[in-house]
Structure 1
Amino acid sequence: VQAELFMGGEAEQDEAAQADEINTLQNTPHEYHLVDNEKEARKLASMLNKQKSVCFDTETTGLNPNDSELVGISFSIKAHEAWYVPVPENYHDAVKRVTVFKDFFENEKIEKVGQNIKFDIAILKWYDTEVKGPLFDTMIAHYLLQPDMRHNMDYLSETYLNYRPVPIENLIGKKGKNQRSMRDVDTQLIKEYAAEDADITLQLKAVFEPQLKETGTLKLFEEIEMPLVPVLASMEAEGVKLDIKALNAYSVELEKDIREIEKKIYELAGTEFNIASPKQLGEVLFEKLQISDKPKKTKTGQYSTGEEILVKLVNKHPIIDYILDYRSLTKLKSTYVDALPLLVSKRDNRLHTSYNQAVTATGRLSSNNPNLQNIPVRTEKGREIRKAFIPRNSEYILFAADYSQIELRIITHLSKDKNMTEAFRHNKDIHTETASKVFGVPPEEVTKDMRRKAKMVNFGLIYGISAFGLSQRLGIPRKEAVEIIDNYFKQYPGIKKYMEQQIQFAREHGYVETIMGRRRYLKDINSANGPVRGFAERNAINAPIQGSSADMIKIAMIRIFEEFNKHKLRSKIILQVHDELVIDTFKEELEQVQQIVNDKMENALKLHVPVVVDMNTGNNWLEAH
């Protein structure tokens, strides 16, 4: 199956035959050693201290480093050989065992290799051990080489080493109530599993390192992605304080609003029904109220009631608006208002988001538990949630810094368009400027509506919006949308040229690159299927823009983090969302923090146009934003 993914389906071999050829621990010679006493541990530590590069992996009781305990650590320095060091259950004894390896972990000259090494760094932090020195994360290396593929170790091992590792289920059983803890598994069994993890990760490094050099992505790996790992580990460990009382009060308020809307819906429907059931809702809308002449149906034969369907029916009946409101409020309540307090760690009563470096194909960070990127900010009720994110205590204040229109500045830098460059250099309002040029009126005569249309074009074209898409978004005839886009390209010919060049480059090379050389492979760029090709073409335009803005904020984060450490500041970066950083700032350091953040964000990448950072402070995230 993996081979097919790599060879575009040419590998049509019989899967059973392929399974026979794959190697496992059973048919591969290996030396895995158990190190279960202090004397042996010290001997191993002294040997590790003499190495240039060591691969290590931790075994734990769970997947969340803030609520898990260490069970053991494995090490490998050459293929097919590894050591496993079990760690006692008692915390005091565990710290004592880990401390034997403290000098090794904190040695800045030794490279540490791992798969999702941020997790291991976070776990060891709880055991009073910092991981220092250069890092090599095989998961992130593969992410840079193949951003659209999977990056978990079992998959990488089968794909690149033709080797199937011992499944974790063999040790602890399948996910669910009856799954055992790693603590309860026989040490000999864990030894084989854990040592194998370190061994395979080391072998994967040997495969990926030369590939990073060949594809020109080693610089990005060494200068951005790896130095970012400790920054994210620190942010995750730091966490953020939540105002749980405020969230609970807001939950009660939302519940009241939801009940009101519910009453209104029943009134308009003339009957009570389960609004959350698409089946019942479909019957009410399309049979009882007969809102649409040609209602769409799903594959199972029930009426489609998805958001995109309902939005188009808003003008047909007042009930639709209430249903959309009902949905957005119930989602807000269940996904954020009620869920956030449950994610607070019992260890320190703080919320620890997890950041993912190897998920989005564009290079942007994503986060989960909670997904900060999805906290709704477009609606007033959604924005309220940010109020619950508060400073550490009364000596601190939240400070937020946000790149202003960074993607438009990047496309201007990449396209070198004269008019757009001019507007940014003279610090003009870019949307008013665009409206003035597109609609042929002086800037002072631009109406709110003109500016709104121009803004949609400015941002829409970055994402490859079509005339049809623009007409839908703005609620204007397609003919008018075509005219607006034509005028836009007449005024900004450099942008049109840049878009054409990007598509051409992608056709010839099969990929596009960011300013820093981050690649996005576009296998469908020459597809005969129009919509499929169109999607790849839009990515060819957008990936370098989104990816460059992602690189910029990552560089800024690394430099801010280093500067804070250098000056031993108490202020800490705690959140990163889209183009924004939030810093839990010790009030006495505010001026210094503002200077550092502004300087490092503005100068992360040198662009031909000025980079502007909007900064603000507040007693909660909403105020600071």
Structure 2
Amino acid sequence: MATTAPTPDKPRLLLLDGHSLAYRAFFALPVENFATTDGQPTNAVYGFTSMLINVLRDEQPTHIAVAFDRSEPTFRHEAYVEYKAGRQKTPDEFRSQVSLIFEVLDALRIPRLSVAGFEADDIIATLSVQATAAGMDTLVVTGDRDAFQLVDESVTILYPIRGVSELARMDPAAVETKYGVPPERYRELAALVGESSDNLPGVPGVGPKTAAKWLTKYGDLDALVAHVDEIKGKAGDNLREHLASVLRNQQINKLDCDVALEAAPAELKMGQWEREEIHTLFDSLQFRVLRERLYASLSAVEPEADEGFDVDLQALEPGALASWLEENTAAGRTGVAVTGTWGRGTGELTGVALASAAGAAVHLDPAELIADDERALAAWLADASRPKAMHEAKGPMLALAARGLEIEGLTSDTALAAYLALPGQRTFDLADLALRYLHRELRDDGDTSGQLTLDGSGEEEAALDLAVRARAVGELADVLDRDLERRGATRLLHEVELPLVGVLAGMERAGIAVDADHLAGLSATLGGQVKEMEQRAHEAVGREFNLGSPKQVQQVLFDELGLPKTKRTKTGYTTDSEALTNLLAKDGHPVLEHILRWREVAKLKSIVDSLIPMADDAGRIHTTFNQMVAATGRLSSTDPNLQNIPIRTAEGRQIREAFVVGGGYDTLLTADYSQIELRIMAHLSGDEALLEAFGTGADFHTITAARVFDLPPEEIDSELRARIKAMNYGLAYGLSAYGLSQQLRISAEEARGLMEEYFQQFGGVRDYLQDVVARARQDGYTETILGRRRYLPDLNSDNRQRREMAERMALNAPIQGSAADIVKVASLRVDQALRDRSLESRILLQVHDELVLEVAPGEHDALSDLVRAQMAGAYDLKAPLEVSMGTGRTWQEAAH
């Protein structure tokens, strides 16, 4: 925002031109960068919602409405049939987002208005006039300059000057400064100049400066018309020749201030929005950052919190901790909150707060703990018989472990519990969950809840804040326990996700060794290849250009070389990798291959260069595993993202060569499941032919291809096998016929035929997939073999795109989620078996369906047997789990 309005001293009505702003947002943000994981474009709804949050925060209106155009012709079309003719066809990616913007407004309880036969501007004009008469100020957010005619002392326009992120405040003085005429003359100026977007041609050669000079000299358009013969030169001739068009423009540009509306300005108040509804919608749109901004910037109309959290924070004398723990934590669960820093396998503890169910609390500063209190804390934390609850426990575990403190008896991680209850959500902030589940608020700067028995200094305020968090965690854990029981997820939390926290923390602490020299050499090699591809691309077109600049690549490909145009974007024609790959298949120009290769190698080099500084002093890299990102239950990792290391290219495999066995260990061992998704699909569908294909022991894809194509297995060539392999995995991932056609580069009709042939042989799979969607539509969720639910409210959405997205999720979630569950169980079983047998070998990584272990001297055979047995026994499938294993000095060498 250019400026922030002062706090209003009288009612303030905020009116927004919905389509105008949404369209600007669509072209301001690239479609390819704003889409859900299932392909729904969200750039327009994201930009619009971001702007809306900013305006609500900065302007603090008391009343609000968003006006939208309708598809029916307006009175302007009746007056001038060419009105708005020639406009480009509305992009499909934009049309699919309008209903999503409606959903955002409805969720925020913001009134939206439209009237057949009128444009949004007319609705805004009518409300502005009514608001002024009612003694209200009006702010209008629009990208349509026609609205400048409304500006007066009570009406201000907020006009986007950069996308929708920067708005200019156009009051009467600003309009006159910008256009040289006061707002009441703007419509006349626009009539003279014309408006190309509305197909309203003006006087040729006449711009705003000339038009303003004429209007200033003669007073208004009527007076100008009366003296039209006095205008000299070519401009005068053009004015006289096009005078009829000017007068028509003036009439069409006039905003109707008398539209019949159902609501008066005083009735246009933002309603009471529901946090649960906002979460559900923003989860489906994957607007994590916007949700955080919304909650940070805006409060609900009515307070969401009934009260805060009361704690009795007690100051302990040195040596008194043991007795306090015995007195206050002997019964019930204790909330534990920690401050500090953590990541990359370690951390530093700066504060610990404990709060009993009764509200007694203590804050401990590790820097001031005497030895007796440190021992008491260590013993209590390690006591599994004392139940504890934490929020996002893995990071604090690293900080505790760095101080030599281990925690046992963790019966709830409130972030993990919320993740199982709300798997579509992307963040699990404690304050948000406390509001959502308990209708209670953590302390803010002005909150004095809690009994502060200390001196009230800044340090003690921080101590009280942490104690309140500990109390909130304890209470939230109880409520979430009941919610998970209702959802059937209690066992999943206690037998899988909670135990896994400690296993993952151990893996993060261990890290994996890297060969720094190999990484440095690989970086240099890749850097040379980047330069080589750049040089080849320059030679292919006969001049230098920046391969990293989409604009310059567009100019070279489409303007200079005249290659076939790709999909049109705001900035020209797309040059993304998919488009260039398709273009290469059609045209074959060598520069396309060089550009694609340059991008591939440059990406690999960036991965290598990012890994080099991540190694610690011991030469090990410590990734961070994330349990609460993927709604399917899949683990992800960051810093580095181990799932982002490609293995399909020789260079990508060389990156895995950099991960090596560490000192004191013999080798790395990798173990992963063979075709786990397909085995799960066979298990869930019960398809006899599919189960039989696994039972033969032969190549699964060859056997299934033989059935589909009615050929002996020995006649199945690589192309036929590849088609059925894509089908096998595609069905497990919810692939549509269109998706299959794109993957195999065949027509959609041919892909549908292939699917029909497949289902003729594997009817159980077809029936299972149909039943999954039908049951999910009825129940509202899908479920994995361990009871992990994926809630899919959009299965019954009126929005076709969202409904189809939800159907793909319904097909994908049970298989992908079950695979994730099994791999997690396997990790737990292997870790427990290592401890039971007192082996020194350890798990380092879990990536996709693979475990990577470091083998201690003399333990190879025992470890191999242990890992195979524990992984194969993780779940009893009808198509039994099979484990592939390999060993080697490097991760790549150990791959199999």
The answer to whether TM tops 0.5 is yes
Asked whether the equivalents of residues 52 and 111 of structure 1 are also in contact (C-alpha less than 8 Å), the reply is yes
Pairing partner for 1:77 from 356, 359, 363: 356
**Structure 1 residue 113 corresponds to structure 2 residue 389:** yes
Structure 1 residues 588-615: Cα deviation after superposition (integer angstroms, max 9, x where no partner): 1111111111111111111111211000
The CA deviation at 1:133 is 2.3
Query: 1:517-574: CA deviations, max 9, x gaps?
Result: 1100111112233332222112112111111111111111111111111111110000
Mark the CA change 1:549 to 1:17 in structure 2 (over 3 Å): closer, same or farther: closer
State the partner residue of 2:605. Answer: 333
Task: Select between 413-422 and 43-52 the one with higher mean Cα deviation.
Answer: 43-52
Q: 2:840 aligns with which of 551, 558, 570?
A: 570
**Cα shift readout 1:2-32 (whole Å, capped 9, x = no counterpart):** 24325769xx99x9672662449xx646235
Q: Number of aligned pairs?
A: 597
Equivalent residue, structure 2, for 1:151: 428
1:342 and 1:7, CA in 2 relative to 1: closer, same or farther beyond 3 A? Answer: closer
Equivalent residue of 1:588, what SS?
A: coil
Matching residue's letter, 1:486: E
Partner amino acid, structure 2, of 1:71: T
**Counterparts of 1:506 and 1:622 in 2: how far apart (Å)?**
40
Report what 2:210 is aligned to.
none
Partner Cα separation in structure 2 for residue 555 and residue 452 of structure 1: 31
| SS of residue paired to 1:587 | coil
Unaligned runs of 5+ in 2: 1-272, 283-293, 448-456
Q: Secondary structure at the match of 1:84?
A: strand
Aligned residues of 2:566 and 2:575 also touching (Cα < 8 A): no
Contact 1:512 1:519 in 2 (8 A): yes
Contact 1:86–1:187 under 8 Å retained in 2:
no
CA drift of 1:134 comes to: 4.0
Alignment correspondent of 1:324? 596
1:5 alignment partner, one of 278, 282, 296: 278
Equivalent pair of 1:35/1:85 in contact (CA under 8 Å): no
Instruction: Say which SS state the counterpart of residue 347 (structure 2) adopts.
Output: coil
- Partner of residue 408 from structure 1, selected from 651, 671, 678: 678
Matched, 1:210 2:489: no
| Distance change >3 Å, CA 314–CA 99, structure 1 → 2 | farther
Decide which of 58, 64, 80 is 2:343's aligned counterpart: 64
Structure 1: distance between partners of 2:816 and 2:372: 46
Q: Distance in 1 between matches of 2:356 and 2:791?
A: 33
Distance 1:65-1:487 versus aligned 2 partners, 3 A rule: closer
Contact 2:769 2:811 in 1 (8 A): yes
**SS of alignment partner, residue 860 of structure 2:** helix
TM-score normalised by L of structure 2: 0.64
1:167-246 matches, within 5 Å, as: 186-246=458-518
Q: Any conservation in 2 of the 1:124–1:130 contact (CA below 8 Å)? A: yes
Structure 1 residue matching 2:668: 3-state secondary structure: strand
Give the one of 407, 411, 421 matched to 1:131. Answer: 407
Tell me the amino acid that sits aligned with residue 619 of structure 1. Answer: R
Which amino acid letter does the alignment assign opposite residue 418 of structure 2? H
AA aligned to 2:525 is E
1:81, distance to aligned residue in structure 2 (A)? 4.4
Q: Residue 336 of structure 2 aligns to which amino acid in structure 1?
A: F
One-letter amino acid of the structure 2 residue matched with residue 602 of structure 1: A
Alignment partner of 1:88 is 2:359: no
Partner of 1:492: 762
- Residues 79 and 200, structure 1, Cα contact 8 Å, conserved in 2: no
Which residue pairs with 2:127 in the alignment? none
Aligned to 1:359: 629
SS of corresponding position for 2:320: helix
For residues 94 and 296 of structure 1, the distance between their equivalents in structure 2, rounded to whole angstroms, comes to 68
Q: Equivalent residue for 2:327? A: 47
Match of 2:261 in 1: none
Stretch of structure 1 that moved more, 566-575 or 70-79:
70-79
The counterpart of 1:619, out of the listed 889, 892, 895, is: 889
In the other structure, the counterpart of 1:278 is 550
SS at match of 1:428: coil
Alignment partner of 1:469 out of 727, 730, 739:
739
Equivalents in 1 of 2:697, 2:536: separation in Å? 48
What SS class does the counterpart of residue 534 from structure 1 fall into?
helix
The 3 A distance-change label for structure 1 pair 28 and 541 is closer
Q: Which amino acid aligns with 2:439?
A: N
1:33-86 residue CA offsets vs partner (Å, 9 max, x unmatched): 2546523333333335524422112111x3426453211101111265432111
* Greater mean alpha carbon deviation, residues 608-617 or residues 198-207: 198-207
Residue 440 of structure 2 corresponds to which residue in structure 1? Answer: 163
| Equivalent residue number for residue 479 of structure 1 | 749
Q: Which residue of 2 aligns with 1:269?
A: 541
Classify 1:5/1:20 alpha carbon distance in 2 versus 1 (closer, same or farther; 3 Å). Answer: closer
Mark the CA change 1:32 to 1:59 in structure 2 (over 3 Å): closer, same or farther: farther
**Offset of 1:231 from its aligned partner?**
0.8
Distance 1:462 1:95 in 2: 56
1:344 is displaced (CA, Å) by 2.0
Moved over 6 A (4+): 93-96
In structure 1, how many angstroms separate the alpha carbons of the residues matched to 2:713 and 2:511? 45
- Separation (CA, whole Å) in 2 of partners of 1:19 and 1:438: 60
- Checking the alignment, whether the CA contact within 8 Å between 1:95 and 1:127 is kept in structure 2 is no
Separation in structure 2 between the aligned mates of residue 88 and residue 314 of structure 1, nearest angstrom: 63
Secondary structure of 1:402's counterpart equals strand
Q: Are 2:669 and 2:887, in contact at CA under 8 Å, matched by a contact in 1?
A: yes
SS of the residue corresponding to residue 241 of structure 1 reads strand
Residue 160 of structure 1 aligns to which amino acid in structure 2? Y
Structure 1 residues 420-429 or 499-508, which shifts more?
420-429
Mapped pair 1:379 → 2:649: yes
Letter in 2 for 1:110: R
Structure-2 separation of matches of 1:137 and 1:28: 21
Distance in 2 of aligned mates of 1:32 and 1:328: 59
Matched AA of 2:837 = H
CA separation in 2, counterparts of 1:319 and 1:167? 59
What is the CA distance between 1:440 and its match in structure 2? Answer: 1.4
Relative to structure 1, the CA distance from residue 228 to residue 616 in structure 2 (aligned partners, 3 Å threshold; closer, same or farther) is same
SS of structure 2 residue aligned to 1:370: coil
In angstroms, what is the RMSD of aligned CA positions?
2.4
1:385, distance to aligned residue in structure 2 (A) = 0.8
| Larger deviation, residues 475-484 vs 433-442 | 475-484
Tell me how far apart the structure 2 counterparts of residues 41 and 571 of structure 1 sit (CA, whole Å): 37
Moved more, 495-504 or 114-123: 114-123
Matched, 1:248 2:520: yes
Alignment equivalent of 2:616, drawn from 341, 345, 354: 345
> Whose radius of gyration is greater, 1 or 2?
2
What secondary structure is seen at the aligned counterpart in 1 of 2:708? helix
Q: CA deviation at 1:135?
A: 2.9
Q: CA contact under 8 A between 2:391 and 2:415: conserved in structure 1? A: yes
Give the distance between the partners of 2:766 and 2:791, measured in 1 at CA.
22
Structure 1, residues 241-284: CA drift from partner, whole Å, max 9, x if none? Answer: 11111101110111111110010011113221221122222222
Alpha-carbon distance in structure 1 between the residues aligned to 2:401 and 2:512:
17
Which residue matches 1:177?
none
1:390 and 1:29 mapped to 2: Cα distance?
Answer: 50
- The Cα shift of 1:617 comes to 0.3
SS of alignment partner, residue 711 of structure 2: coil
Shift in Å, 1:295:
3.9
TM-score under structure 1 length normalisation: 0.91
The aligned residue for residue 174 of structure 1 is none
How far apart in 2 are the matches of 1:218 and 1:379? 42
Corresponding residue to 1:600 among 838, 862, 870:
870
Per the alignment, residue 609 of structure 1 pairs with 879
1:72-121 deviation per Cα after TM superposition (whole angstroms, max 9, x unaligned): 101111265432111218xxx68875433011011121222100111122
> Which residue in 2 is equivalent to 1:173?
none
Q: Quick check: 2:708–2:758 contact (8 Å CA) kept in 1?
A: yes
Query: In the alignment, which residue of structure 1 is the partner of 2:189?
Result: none
